Amino acid sequence: MSKKLLLTEKEIHIILQRLACQLVENHQDFKTTVLIGIQPRGIFLVNRLVQILKDEYQLSDIKVGQLDITFYRDDFRRREDPIAANTTNINFIVENKNVVLIDDVLFSGRSIRAALTAIQSFGRPSSIELLVLIDRRFSRHLPIQPDYRGRQVDVINKEKVMVNWKEKDKKDAVYIINN
């Protein structure tokens, strides 16, 4: 197995600053916008973005949630090993809100499809956008595209994109893994 560095900690920091700026451009004060991280790894990204929005743009009342899509996945009952569910923590209604779904890597689009189904349990949003750190553009099984992307990469099907977060992996980095 070989591992190639795609993004360094500094490059990730720059991308996160840009993504936060784009969110502010499109949502100004976030009064009608909510940010929802998709479990498990979208949580690290949403938390980083919220911290930037608070520190750099002095936005204080940002509604943030965590969405578990385990039981909405189309492969839920197709795996040999049981899937362990994560926590959903959305303590607000998304009715008539602008929802920004946030995940680390957009691959086939199946997780996002599951998130679109799951979010309906919390109301009917007026709009839903997608923000991802990494967009694997040639790997889609479903016609889903991000509204905000950190970096677009082309990888061969056998290759994987691995995002490391300081909070979990002790270091920020993005790698392409070749099995």
Condensed to tens digits (0 to 9), the pLDDT of residues 23-79 reads 999 999 999 999 999 999 999 999 999 999 999 999 999 999 999 998 776 655 555
Total domain count, the chain: 1
Q: Which residues constitute the domain of residue 10?
A: 2-26+33-178
CATH number, domain containing residue 160:
3.40.50.2020
What pLDDT was estimated at residue 152?
95
Give the separation between CA 51 and CA 119, rounded to whole angstroms. 23
Report if pTM > 0.75.
Answer: yes
Q: Residue 34 carries which DSSP code?
A: E
- Residue 30 · residue 59 · CB < 8 Å: yes
What is the per-residue DSSP string for 141-178? SSS---SEEEEEE---TTEEEEEE-HHHHSS-EEEEEE
SS3 for 6?
strand
Residues with Cβ within 8 Å of residue 151, at least 6 apart in sequence: 6, 7, 15, 133, 134, 135, 174
